[in-house]
Amino acid sequence: MTGWRTGLGTLLAMVLSSQVASAADPRYPDWPCQQAKVPEISLAAVWAGPPLGDAETKWRDNPKISALATKLAARRVPLEDAQKEITEFLQAATADKANAGKLLFAGLFDTLNGQRASVMNGLERVMRKQREAAEKIRDDTVKLQALQDATPPDQAKVDELGNQLVWETRIFEDRGRVVKFVCEVPTTIDQRLFALSRTIQQELD
C-alpha cells in the first residue's frame, strides 16, 4: 500500500513541479498561464472614438456613470444585455451623447483593467503557492522513502506521511485545475471591453 504512495508522490513531485517551472512566461516568472501575460490593455487598442480628454478622470465624479460602468463591467451581466443597456443609455443622452459615451467608456476601461489586474495578481500568488507546494511534495517524498528504507520501518510514520502526501498532491492538482480555469478570465475581460467599447463607438458615429 505504501509502495504506490511513494511512486505516486515521486511522480507528481517530478511531473507537476516541472509543469510549474515550464508554465511561466520567462519575462514573468510567476505567470502560470499558457497565454502570454499582457499586464494592461492599452487605450489605443480598444478605443478609436473621439479623444477622451478629461473623461479619463472625470467619469468618477459622475455617480450615474460610475454606477453604470460598475454594473456593465460585471461578468454576471450577459454581454448582450450590457450592450443593449449602453445603446439605451446613450440614445437617451441626446445632445450630451458624445460626452456621456466618453465618460462611460473611460469608466469601463478603468474598471475592467482593474479587474484584470486583480485576477492576474491572484494567479501569480497561486503560482508561488504551487511552487512551494511542489517543493513540499518533493521533500515529503524523500522523507517517506527514508522511512520505508529504515530497518525496521516505522509503519505508523510511513502510513501517516503517505496519507499526508496523498492530500498534498490532491490539493496541488485541484489548485492546478482552478488555475487553468482562471487563466481564461483575463481574455474574457478583454473580449468584454472590446465588445462594449465597440457598442459605444457605434452609437457615437
Q: What is the pLDDT of residues 89-133, one digit of tens each?
A: 999 987 789 999 999 999 999 999 999 999 999 999 999 999 899
How many angstroms separate the CA atoms of 38 and 194, rounded?
15
Q: Enter the pTM of the model.
A: 0.80
Classify residue 92 as exposed, middle or buried by CB count within 10 Å of its CB (0-12, 13-18, 19+): exposed
Which secondary-structure segment (H or E) carries 89?
Answer: helix 79-93
- pLDDT of 10 reads 53
Answer whether the bond into residue 152 is a cis peptide, omega within 30°.
Answer: yes
The secondary structure of 6-42 as a DSSP string is: HHHHHHHHHHHHHHHHHHSBTTBTT---SSPP--S--
**Rg of the Cα atoms in the chain:** 25
Of 179, 190, 182, the closest CA to residue 40 belongs to: 190
- pLDDT of 153 reads 85
